[in-house]
Chain A
Amino acid sequence: QAKYKERGTVLAEDQLAQMSKQLDMFKTNLEEFASKHKQEIRKNPAFRVQFQDMCATIGVDPLASGKGFWSEMLGVGDFYYELGVQIIEVCLALKHRNGGLITLEELHQQVLKGRGKFAQDVSQDDLLRAIKKLKVLGNGFGIIPVGGTYLIQSVPAELNMDHTVVLQLAEKKGFVTVSEIKSSLKWETERAKQVLEHLLKEGMAWLDEQAPEEPQYWLPALFTELYSQEITPEEAKEAIP
């Protein structure tokens, strides 16, 4: 049996040993880098973006594990994982208001409020990266591009291309009507109604039947007036199981 430990495996063993050595060296390089530039990463969001992009290009995910070198030595892990917790809390607290859809702007504002005055500032890019990591928990977190920004989904509701496109249409005014959908997207009435009904059922849209010409479907996620409204104590309790 031992005879069949072929040359291939011996080579793999050698390479493993080599990798182990190189890993130690890399760790030292990273430590050096951290001692010089750790603060830069902490304080400079543009540098953070550059760092993340370069990692992605070479096929490395610095946020994959809290046990990774990047996280341990540069402290990037804790920053994003904690942000993940804060994002989850805000989304849970506001879910009953907006059905689980929230603009990146509002999320950003609420997270900043929650973090308090003495915490480190976070950028929208930081939020997006944290959210991308949260998806793996099976909670339905998703990022939907609308207008020049994004809607963040935080519930496991199915939103397909049709839903997304209607959300994008609604972004301009905060609401949308069946006629608008038909004229902009060239859909049949039935298709437009199906999409709108789905959004209503999920609590992501509210129906205003009193509107002058025809019923309007409003998206609470897009109501700017709600933005600066504080999270109430009842809502905060929802957020912490």
Chain B
Amino acid sequence: MMEKTQEEQQSSPQMAAPDGGWGWVVVGSLFMSSALVFGLIRSLGVFFVEFVQYFGESAQAVSWIASIGLAMQQLMSPIGAAASNVYGTRPVVMMGGFLSGLGFILASQATSLVHLYLTMGLISGLGWALVFTPTVASVMQYFTVRRSLAMGLGFTGVGLASFAFSPLFQYLVEVYAWRGALLVLGGLSFNMIACGALIRPLGKPKVVLKTENLTKLNKCSSLLSRIFESFELSLLSHRGFLTYAVAITFFNAGYFIPYIHLVAHSRHIGFTEYQAAFVISVTGVVDIMGRVASGWFSDLGKIRMPHMLVVWTGLLGLSLMIIPVAVVYSGLIVISVVYGFCAGAMTPLAFAVVPEIVGIGRVLGALGLLQLIESVGGLLGAPLSGWLKDCTGTYTLSFIAAGSFLVLGMLVTMTLPYFWSCTAPPPPSPSKRMSQDGSIEDGLLKQTLSSNSVPESLCPLDDTPYSDKELKVCWKSDVTCPVQERDEIPQEMMHHTNSGEIL
């Protein structure tokens, strides 16, 4: 008993979210990582022009490089999450940074387009997957009260990087040609290794913890079970998770369509190149502001996070559908401002909602799986919008389709469990508990446990993180738990940002 108590005692301070202090350093690490992953991807257009000229291939063939990279980043996310569950986030992120840089360094030696697919696409894409999801999950672990703000601030890296990287890459290509520029970019990507080094672990990785707990009981440590645990496959039977996965897939399908088509649409209806570029710049700036503002506002706790998410996605969908209506330049600017703000506002929330649905302990695996599932939306959305444009000749239908995807996702979000209640749901916890835990916390957590109707995880004994969290929640202000939980729950999904950033 004493042993167990001591272990809990030892693990509790480690699992407690500092909500400040070193957490802000981790936010800075997220800032750099998101800049070097998505900011970099967004600015690769400069290279594509060079590749078209050098290899003599079509623009479409060259654009596959980015598509493969992004697809890898999303598809390999569960692997990043699983590796972090087993080895801890720090080594995984550092390895991811190394792989990203390696991909670009090898790409600088490419002699055919296929080489670029393999290096910039596969290798760097895998590196990005290993960097991004664990970094986001780490920020979420470091913050509870100010989670949304931390996420919003961390993601501003993408917007700022897209501004800074475009001219920088242009300069690098002019001075060093694309080979040299790719080499330098590989070096820049190595900075993500330093970002990974900054992520001090808050506790032992989940699977390690579990294996330690299990040594006393049955040897549940067969490989299959470990894999099951590290990938959080138990989430696939979790109704809230599945609902949200569907919603996010719809969001992803519609979110980035405007990013591809806004410039072309502006030129199509007769504005000049500079006017169109200005529209995009304005959208980008407002996007950054929207992220921070939404994160800050959501942390105030006035409105529940899923409700805010619904508000922003609804507004975003509507503004997308209105874009084709704007024929005057000032009208287009206004609509783009609204669109940019809502798109930015939605991003941190889309990630921060995840711990509310699945609990902070499973957030790593949840993020990985969500990215994998939402990539379907991304892969469908772009070709669909392109096909609509080819069929009808204008972008009107594409924008309307994008807006309706978002509205559809919003409707699906409304079917989340606990959506229609005024207070946040209790954090999901398995009903099976170790006896020692129960004795200590029963009195405090009775209310929590009884109101919990979220299906528990299939593998028993992933209690410890949850129990600590709930305990923390109840103690927080000495009032009844449900009121407190409202502040704890909201978390945000990285997936949205990923898909958005992609473009």
Chain B associates with chain A = no
List the interface of chain B (C-beta within 8 A of A). Answer: none
List the interface of chain A (C-beta within 8 A of B). Answer: none
